[in-house]
Amino acid sequence: MTETIVITGAALNGADAADIVIEDGRIAEIGSGLSRSGARVVDAAGLIALPGLVDLHTHLREPGFEASETVLTGTRAAAAGGFTAVFAMPNTSPVADTAGVVEQELALGEAAGYATVQPIGAVTVGQKGERLAELGAMASSRAKVRVFSDDGFCVWDPLIMRRALEYVKSFDGVIAQHAQDPRLTEGAQMNEGTVSAELGLAGWPAVAEESIIARDILLAEHVGSRLHVCHLSTAGSVDLIRWAKKRGVAVTAEVTPHHLLLTDELVRGYDARYKVNPPLRREEDVLAVREGLADGTIDIVATDHAPHPSENKACEWQAAANGMVGLESALRVVHQSMVETGLLGWADVARVMSTAPAAIGRLEGFGSLEAGAPAHVTLYDPQVAGVFTEADLHGRSRNSPYLGRDLPGRVQWTIHGGRVTVADGILVDGLGE
């Protein structure tokens, strides 16, 4: 059941303040001096109203790896971070490479109630890179899959990649590539550079990412299909995407919050919270991806939320799993790295964290703050600040790189389809019951 809600005095995308009326799960009216008899009134003076955030790259782990995360716990984390929709990566067990598995994920998201879960289908059977998965069956299933990825593994075989790009054209799908040449990254433990040399750790060279991106750009241009580059992380990769867009190639790209803020210098402490794939890069790369996001070369911010149980991180560096949780902290990190630095305004944040990811994933009904649209709304307080702690985490895992770090802002309200999931900064319990 949804309720009538009147949001008063919110700055729409950081601009002029307005009132928003929500009725029957939709935005009924936007204006000034609005009211409704018996409505729940949310005083949003000083808050920024954004279209509900959309994450194109989330690992929910269910089915198969529930010790790390479940659809319920992951979408609770999403709501706490202001997200109203997440695209679930297919590296589950069984792998989401059939219509049955993606429909199961969709149903789990509907039952949880905290955010819309849009499954991503695997490109190849079992993510093994050997033969195409049931792309058409997943696209025509109730889940209406439009994004396909073997994330965690690169679709390394150029013929398989070409065939995948050709196949998804018929239903306007997109292949989201984990750009990593496996031969160039065997045994890699961190970014290849000065720090890896000093620490004696095997390096993950930038060319391992850039060479795959270059190849796939050419394949996508040849086929005339859509390509999306996951978690872009190097200055050279930004240059390649910029070149491709000038050529008119249908390529989009994402950057993670951690690649906008953190550098490989953090690895010096051997804290496995900072172990991630692709690895944290040099300061020069961080500045380049910030510039790429600011000038539109990089289209979106995506979290790559990757939960792990504590035993997979509380160990020596070489044995630790790659990945960081990031749903609860994403908007605050973008605020710090992009807004406080003057590189993005709040309307830009709405574009890169809501409108554009929904468009890339062909997710209807998201990314808009307009009368008549479904009521997916995030209300954010940019004035407060505080230390990010475990109390800010609402998923099952604790492997956040931001614990103990000062971050600006806080999500105060999240509304998903007219249903309040976060109220006054507190996650609403019991939605899936």
Q: Is 416 annotated as a binding residue?
A: no
Q: Is 285 annotated as a binding residue?
A: no
Q: Is 239 annotated as a binding residue?
A: no
Long-range own/partner contacts, residues 127-134 (CB < 8 A, 24 or more apart): 127/90, 127/91, 127/95, 127/97, 127/152, 127/153, 128/153, 129/153, 129/154, 129/155, 129/156, 129/157, 129/160, 130/160, 131/160, 132/160, 132/163, 132/164, 132/167, 133/97, 133/98, 134/97, 134/98, 134/99
Q: Is 91 annotated as a binding residue?
A: yes
Q: Looking at the DSSP assignment, which residues form a beta bridge with residue 300?
A: 254
Q: Is 61 annotated as a binding residue?
A: yes
How many CB atoms within 10 Å of residue 17?
16
Q: Is 43 annotated as a binding residue?
A: no
Q: Looking at the DSSP assignment, which residues form a beta bridge with residue 413?
A: 379
CA distance 295 to 204: 27
E strands present in 210-328 = 226-229, 251-255, 300-301
CA distance 344 to 386: 21
The catalytic position among 264, 304, 348, 392 is 304
424 noted as active-site residue: no
Using CB atoms within 10 Å of the CB of residue 184, give its burial: 0 to 12 exposed, 13 to 18 middle, 19+ buried.
middle
In order, the DSSP letters of 185-208 are GTT--EESSHHHHHHTPPEE-HHH
Q: Is 199 annotated as a binding residue?
A: no
Our measurement of the distance from residue 305's CA atom to the centroid of its chain's CA atoms, rounded to an integer in Å, reads 7
Q: Is 322 annotated as a binding residue?
A: no
Rg of the chain taking only CA atoms, in angstroms? 21
Q: Is 259 annotated as a binding residue?
A: no
Q: Is 405 annotated as a binding residue?
A: no
77 close to 305: Cβ distance less than 8 angstroms: yes
21 close to 49: Cβ distance less than 8 angstroms: no
Q: Is 57 annotated as a binding residue?
A: yes
Annotated binding-site members for substrate:
59-61, 91, 277, 308
Annotated binding-site members for Zn(2+):
57, 59, 151, 178, 231, 304
Catalytic residues: 304
Annotated binding-site members:
57, 59-61, 91, 151, 178, 231, 277, 304, 308
